[in-house]
Structure 1
């Protein structure tokens, strides 16, 4: 039987085998992406991830290559070690994309803080207010405008004539 996996036609004993191989490949791809793009930058090699998770470097390499069939305990150790609170990250493309967008936001915030020389940010909110829409990047952008205005010597940042 011919099964198409990722645009490649492969020989497979059954559709279940093809589905299993596709799942292994997807888990490996997502794990490799998580490891190499982790926001803290400390888990970018398999040795560091191995130390953080308690999963051997060899097992991590096999999972990333799509050749391992990791058990649930191993997958949970990996996601927890990466600071991801859902196992679905490794199995669901939408969850994968959502977590990666959150990581990008964390990196953008860290970059903005570095550019502005901000070492800490704290805010208080009215407990009755809806703070779900509070965007730390927006706060940092406003802070950047304020810093630019102060550096220009005017309250609103406009140049003096």
Structure 2
């Protein structure tokens, strides 16, 4: 009985030590950083700034972009850059752009996060509004949040628009 009590006490003590030594995650700080990545992504897209835009995504084969309007599933940074670089360096201009990151969920060890966003934009006047829901996954690369997965889904236009 004494051995069991001793080992139980030892186990509780060690678990307390390990939990006290593990780094505490400042979730509010992490959320601010993730929101900044999403905001910058939108800003660079609107400006056509490929260099800064591309630096916000993971540059590995883990990157995946699913976009219904393009009808493509882009796997890896190379496929992504072939498609998006051309779009950002073209003459597209956004006449209206709204972007709202709705919620963010951060993993307990703060190396992964996922979020949902609602994006509305118009490229050819207010009659041509596009509305989409996005699911976005973020990962930490060298201490910075990067987008590793983006999946878009069309929101049907309202009849009164």
Task: State TM-score, norm by structure 1.
Answer: 0.25
Task: State TM-score, norm by structure 2.
Answer: 0.25
Larger Rg: 1
Whose strand proportion is higher, 1 or 2? 2
Whose helix proportion is higher, 1 or 2? 1
